[in-house]
Chain A
């Protein structure tokens, strides 16, 4: 596609509910990233894929967070038993490769509110 596409754009979840956030990267982009952006803050790294391999998941805040990219294209970020502190914008990004200087393109984000 023309850009990184994320869905849903907005999600309200009740505390304890599971949510799944989808990301369609730019076609042909090898690298895919998930970031979490709390209100008024800069984005914080969650996890990184190169093709289908999850090479870094050091930013996932707890074992309730799980990400996958089974065919090296679309990715899903799953949050189990959501808590209020999970409320944030979840940003997906992609880039052509893993070299430093490659531009990383962001989607518009999925805005999650846990009530």
Chain B
């Protein structure tokens, strides 16, 4: 079945550092790929998405590119802020679009 693998956290960075959170996937067909963010005490929020190969999703300074050849969707940000501290989840939907499969999540801690 479909699966998503993320780098384990926590990832601890200083403010303004460069961020990469790795995500790889296994899926049949052509899934859509997502990054969701969960701030402390809050629900999951969609951060960005990409629906086909080579698409780049971007939002709030975060970017991720759908790489079919490496089955990856790594999350990057050039300069993190303390307010980016959260848990980040990589996810994909199946071809029917009726089920999200999540990775285990990566906790990011940004120190001032």
Interface residues in chain A, defined as those with a beta carbon under 8 Å from any beta carbon in chain B: 4, 31, 33, 35, 40-45, 48, 50, 55-56, 91, 93, 95, 97-109
User: Known: A100-B32, A100-B95. Is A45-B44 also a contact (CB below 8 A)?
Assistant: no
* B: number of interface residues (CB 8 Å): 27
From B11-19, B45-53, B68-76, B77-85, the one touching the partner chain is: B45-53
Chain A residues with CB under 8 Å of B4's CB are: 42
Chain A residues with CB under 8 Å of B42's CB are: 108
User: Known: A41-B105, A101-B93. Is A55-B98 also a contact (CB below 8 A)?
Assistant: yes
Is B43 located at the chain interface by the 8 A CB criterion? yes
B28 shortest CB reach to chain A, Å: 12
Assembly CA distance A93 to B43 (angstroms): 10
